[in-house]
Structure 1
Amino acid sequence: MSFANTDDGVRLFYETAGSGTPIIFVHEFGGSHWSWEPQLNYFSRRHHCITFAARGYQPSDVPAEVEKYSQKRAADDVVAVLDAAGIDRAHVVGLSMGGFAALHVALQHPDRVLSVLAAGTGYGAEKQFEGYFKGISEQVAKNFAERGSEEFGAVYAEGASRVQFQNKDPRGWRLFADRLRRHDALGAANTMRGVQMQRPSLYDLEHEFRALDVPVLVMTGDEDDHCIQPGIFLKRVIPRCGFAVLPKSGHTLNLEEPEMFNRMAAEFIAQVEAGRWGARDSRADPSQIMRTD
């Protein structure tokens, strides 16, 4: 087993597969390093793939203090794993919580990033729902801490943007739900309180995003309602950003629609590596409907 050591003394489990241009996969709250198996199987044929368990997710360390968890720390942890794996720069692919981390890696450590794919990224970002999101996140944290992952994980796995996965692929969803029910309850509660509840809204980072010179692809499901408007926002403010919407899809995109996810991600990475993922053409004026002269 391979572990990265962070500057605050936390060990992070990681594994690698394949060779070629590096891709690091950053998991969501409901997943872990195992969430990316369909992507490792596909991309390791021509890329050096890395996946890891975030702090709070075994076999990584589970710090007892909530102060050990934050959005900045989540981004720094991605870099710690890259350092441990001997990688200078990588494509960073993240889902949900991992998508937020991927974007923050690009903002905090742009020299370590070849590109960012942020999927299912937006929960808690909408300004009108900030208070609601913090309140519901505290309730989720409390449920994990008091009821345990075995009981509450089953409830969490049937959220409004998870049932699409359940309906399309009951067997795949069941594996996801069973693994979620084995999460460390303290790690889940601390992650929810330290990372999810405290991270800044994407809208509060508009200035930083407008200055970001990194190729970005934002991907969302059309039934992942609270990620759609934040995705459109990111498309409008990040200069080199594309926006992909998967039809009849929810939150767990890489597992729910692995073939579509992989195909879009592969095309994005190929265009980045060919130098073809630039900023929007200045002639594509969003205020123009039709040209008249």
Structure 2
Amino acid sequence: MPYATTDDGVRLHYEECGSGTPVIFVHEFAGDHRSWETQMRHFGQRYRAITYAARGYSPSDVPEDVAKYYQARAADDIAAVLSCLRIEKAHVVGLSMGGFATLHFGFRHPQRALSLCVAGCGYGAEKGQQDKFRNEVATVAAFLDAHGIEAFAAKYAYGPTRVQFENKDLRGFEEFKRQLSEHAAVGARNTQLGVQGERPSLYDLVEPMKALTVPTLILTGDEDWPCLQPALLMKQTIPSAALSVMPNCGHTINLEDPDQFNRLVGDFIVQVDAGRWPERDPRATVASITGIK
């Protein structure tokens, strides 16, 4: 079983298939490396497709010290996997927690990103929601301590932006819920407290987003309510960003509608590799609708 070792000594299990330009997939809090199986099969036919289990997710190491879990570390772990595989640059695709890590990878390692796909990114990011989100993080951590991962999965899987997945694909949803129930409770707890609960608001990252020139695709489901406004913020702020909203979709968009997700990401990567991905024309940001002064 292959592992990449980070500079703080944590081993990260990774998988890869295919050959060609590298594309690395970064999973969400409720998922793991298995969540990207449909993407690995699809993109592995055309690219060198890579995914890994984040720290805290078996078979990667599960540090018991919550200080080992934080946002910058999550971004640097992407770089650690790429370095282990001797990859200088890659397309980086992340969902939710992985989307935040992907965005921060763009801030911290822009020279190593061919492109960024930031999907389902925004939970707790809005200024008026931060205290509520941190309270929810504390509640989740306490529930995991008290009841364990199986009881947690039985509740968390039915969140208001995940029921769309259940309604659309019950078999896929049941697999997602089962895999969530197999996570390490201490890893989930520490990820919530260290990565989720302490990450900066997107609204505090406007200046680094303005400076980001890596080709970027923002993806969100139109029923992923906490991510809609943050998706607009990223679109409006990142000069190299495009926004695509997937209709009748919740949060787990790569699993809920893999065909549409793969098409959108695939078309994006093709344009980037062809040198055809634009930065925003400054003329598109003038205040006048007509452009007539």
Same-fold status (TM-score > 0.5): yes
The amino acid across from 1:73 in the alignment is R
Partner Cα distance (2:73, 2:207) in 1: 21
Alignment-mate amino acid for residue 137 of structure 1 = V
Q: How does 1:131-280 map to 2 (within 5 A)?
A: 131-280=131-280
TM-score, length-normalised on structure 1?
A: 0.98
Query: Contact 1:218/1:242 (CA < 8 Å) preserved in 2?
Result: yes
d(CA) in 2 for partners of 1:225 and 1:129?
Answer: 12
Name the CA distance, whole Å, in 2 between partners of 1:127 and 1:277: 31
The residue matched to 2:218 in structure 1 has which SS?
A: strand
SS in 1 for 2:91: strand
Distance 2:97 2:205 in 1: 16
> Is the contact made by 1:99 and 1:119 (CA closer than 8 Å) also made in structure 2?
yes
What per-residue deviation string (whole Å, max 9, x for no partner) do you get for residues 12-51 of structure 1? 0001000010000000000000000010110011100110
Q: Distance in 2 between matches of 1:287 and 1:146?
A: 54
In structure 1, what is the Cα distance between the partners aligned to 2:236 and 2:269?
A: 20
The Cα of 1:291 is off from its aligned counterpart by: 4.4
Under a length normalisation based on structure 2, what TM-score does the superposition of the two structures give?
Answer: 0.98
Instruction: Please provide the CA RMSD for this pair.
Output: 0.9
Residue matched to 1:113:
113
Q: Structure 1 residues 64 and 223, CA, compared in 2 at 3 Å: closer, same or farther?
A: same
Alignment correspondent of 2:125:
125
**Percent identity of the aligned residues?**
55
Q: Amino acid of the residue matched to residue 239 of structure 2?
A: P
Does 94-103 or 148-157 show the bigger shift? 148-157
Q: Is the 8 A contact 1:95 1:120 kept in 2?
A: yes
1:32 pairs with 2:45: no
After superposition, give the CA deviation of every residue in 1:40-71 in whole Å (9 maximum; x if it has no partner): 11001110011000000000000000000000
Instruction: Look up the match of 1:102.
Output: 102
* Distance in 2 separating the partners of 1:282 and 1:206: 18
Matched pairs, number = 293
TM-aligned CA deviation for residue 289 of structure 1: 2.2
What runs of 5+ residues in structure 2 fail to find an aligned partner?
A: none
Who is 1:80 aligned against? Answer: 80
SS in 2 for 1:148: helix
Cα separation, 1, equivalents of 2:67 and 2:292:
58
Q: Distance in 2 between matches of 1:111 and 1:35?
A: 27
Q: Decide which moves more: 158-167 or 274-283.
A: 274-283
Inter-partner Cα distance in structure 1 for 2:287 and 2:42: 40
Structure 2 equivalent of residue 23 of structure 1: 23
Distance 1:233 1:68 in 2: 30
CA contact (8 A) 1:144 1:153 kept: no
Amino acid at match of 1:42: H
Q: Aligned partners of 1:50 and 1:27: how far apart in 2?
A: 11
Q: 3-state SS of the aligned residue for 2:101?
A: helix
Classify the secondary structure of the residue corresponding to 1:104: helix
Q: Secondary structure at the match of 1:284?
A: helix
Distance in 2 of aligned mates of 1:273 and 1:101: 22
Q: Which amino acid aligns with 2:76?
A: D
Shift of 1:285: 3.0
Shift of 1:292: 4.3
CA separation in 2, counterparts of 1:197 and 1:171? 31
Per-residue Cα deviation, 1:68-94 (whole angstroms, up to 9, x for no partner)? 000011011110000111111000000
Q: CA deviation at 1:286?
A: 5.2
8 Å CA contact 1:127, 1:201 repeated in 2: yes
In 2, the alpha carbon distance for the partners of 1:146 and 1:286 equals: 54
User: Shift in Å at residue 276 of structure 1?
Assistant: 1.3
SS at match of 1:125: coil
1:211-236 deviation line (CA, Å, top 9, x unaligned): 11101000001110110000000001
- Counting only pairs closer than 5 Å after superposition, residues 57-68 of structure 1 correspond to structure 2 as 57-68=57-68
C-alpha displacement of 1:9: 0.9
